[in-house]
Amino acid sequence: MDWYKLAKNREEELIGELRELLQIESVLEEEKATPDAPFGPGPLAALQFMLEKGREQNMTVKNIDNMAGHIEMGQGEELLGILCHVDVVPAGDSSTWTYPPFKGEIVDGKLYARGAIDDKGPTMAAWLAMKLVKDAGIQLNKRVRLIVGSDEESGFRCVDHYFEKEEMPTIGFAPDADFPLINAEKGIAHLVFSQKQAPEEENLFSFTAGKRINMVPETAIAVLNRASGNIGLKFQNFLSENNAEGTLNLEGDRYIITVKGKSAHAMEPEKGCNAAVLLAKFLTTELKVGAGAQFVQFVTDVFYGDHTGKALGFNYFDAMSGETTLNPGLVSFGEKGGVIEVSMRYSVTYPFEEKMTDIQQLMTTKPFVLDVAGDSKPHYVPEDDELVQTLLSVYQKHTKDFSKVLSTGGGTYARVMKKGVAFGMLYPGEPDVAHQADEYVVLENLIKAAAIYAEAIVKLASK
């Protein structure tokens, strides 16, 4: 079967349906949410649109409380799940877009719209794949389910609810990340360090940095008592040594010091430059006594020049998922002392309980207490598993690309499945334009992906 040719023949249908879906502004709107539209009218309309497509094809369709749903075909005891989502992040400032974000303009073989690559394009490629397999009349020995979520971008409430009510697929893939495939996803823990000692007579009045725990803080601001000596010169020297920017202003008898670093995603803290850590490091030379001094010293000891948490024994590495990393994303000091919120991305084989026991022991000697405020376990399907090998061989056949399987410090949609991997549809070397202005999908890649998904369905769900 020439799946590519079959997909190419239906290019118009694919693009037509995709553009219709892209024109639905399926952004979460909590303030417009109702029991019938739990994520607002946009995500619901997009979900209903997909399910209607399934009905038109006489497939089995089920809507799970307007949060998620599925389109099913085939027969058999076992279930192959294909997990997609039709909600999108907001377009942001539309003046930064060259093309309207909710139209779907095609220029030079690229289709531009919010959701083009994340995840409406891949959803439609998978949907065409199902239709191709059905129309080819291939006998399936598993049921194949396109599971459609409508709240992926804001916390997976859609699929969490879905899997409370519906069966877990035996195997599955999520076309919501990268080719060739991602089989290892790190664990994601939310750590909170809180200072034991409250400030009394302080030279440090306040310290604030970071907007979200998932990002490397770009800016940090501290307010402190006018210090002795030439702090201005020391600050300039510090900035140039650390290749950073900043300002120092005197207001009354207080200094306001701002440091600018570089933002990055918490799953790759090494790609950014943490403004909070830099500012804390600078302040260790200015603050010598009190809770403020303790706070900047702790931040510096644990995070300066190291993303792996060696100072407290967090560090750990494994071959399938790499280094464990820490991102202090929210760092503050105020009346109650210092608070450092960290997004920790830990390796697949990380001995979490053991490590935490040792670290908690060590924390008794430190000026902070540590709480684990959240923990999403790692997700892993071994590389030699039949699911991984089958998907990989289909991908290689269609692309002649023999790139290695991938791991990620981020969480993909695949992690909600018991045995699932992320499979496309961003090809190696392609820029990741998800969540950005002028998000696009390359039409040719869409067709190629549909062919790959069709063959994958056949290989996984028929014998």
Report the interface residues with Zn ion, using CB under 5 A.
118-119, 176
Which of 17, 119, 151, 152 is labelled catalytic?
152
Q: Nearer to Zn ion by C-beta: 121 or 246?
A: 121
Minimum separation from the CB atom of position 406 to Zn ion (A): 16
Structure tokens at 133: 């397999």
Are 294 and 195 in contact by the 8 Å Cβ rule? The answer is: yes
Cβ proximity of 113 and 437 under 8 Å: no
Nearer to Zn ion, 283 or 425 (CB): 425
CA–CA distance, 323 with 408 (Å, rounded to integer): 11
Using CA atoms, how far apart are residues 225 and 246, in angstroms rounded to an integer? 18
* Rama region for 447: left / alpha / beta (φ>0; ψ in -120 to 50; rest): alpha
d(CA 250, CA 230): 12
| Closer Cβ to Zn ion, 123 or 183, answer by number | 123
Q: How far is the CB of 310 from Zn ion (least distance, A)?
A: 33
Candidates 87, 341, 439, 455; catalytic one: 87
Cis peptide bond prior to 425, omega within 30° of 0: yes
Q: Are strands 187-195 and 337-346 parallel, antiparallel or unpaired?
A: antiparallel
Smallest separation, CB 215 to Zn ion (Å): 18
Distant-in-sequence contacts of 244-249, Cβ < 8 A, 24+ apart: 244/273, 244/275, 244/278, 246/279
Identity of the residue, 68 or 302, whose beta carbon is nearer to Zn ion in the bound complex: 68
Q: Compare residues 46 and 59 and give the one whose CB is closer to Zn ion.
A: 46
Strand partners, 375: 189
Provide, rounded to whole angstroms, the least separation between the CB of residue 138 and Zn ion.
29
The set of residues, in sequence order, having a beta carbon less than 8 Å from that of 391 and lying 6+ positions away, is 173, 180, 181, 421, 423, 456, 460
Give 295 or 440: the residue with its C-beta nearer to Zn ion: 440
In the residue annotation, 401 being an active-site residue is answered as no
Nearest to Zn ion of 17, 176 (CB atom): 176
Amino acid identity, residue 327? N
- Residue 176 or 202: the one with the smaller Cβ distance to Zn ion is 176
Active site residue 151: no
Nearer to Zn ion by Cβ, of 59 and 91: the residue is: 91
How many whole angstroms separate alpha carbon 176 and alpha carbon 174? 5
Plot region of 25 (φ>0 → left; ψ -120 to 50 → alpha; else → beta): beta
Write out the catalytic residue numbers: 87, 152
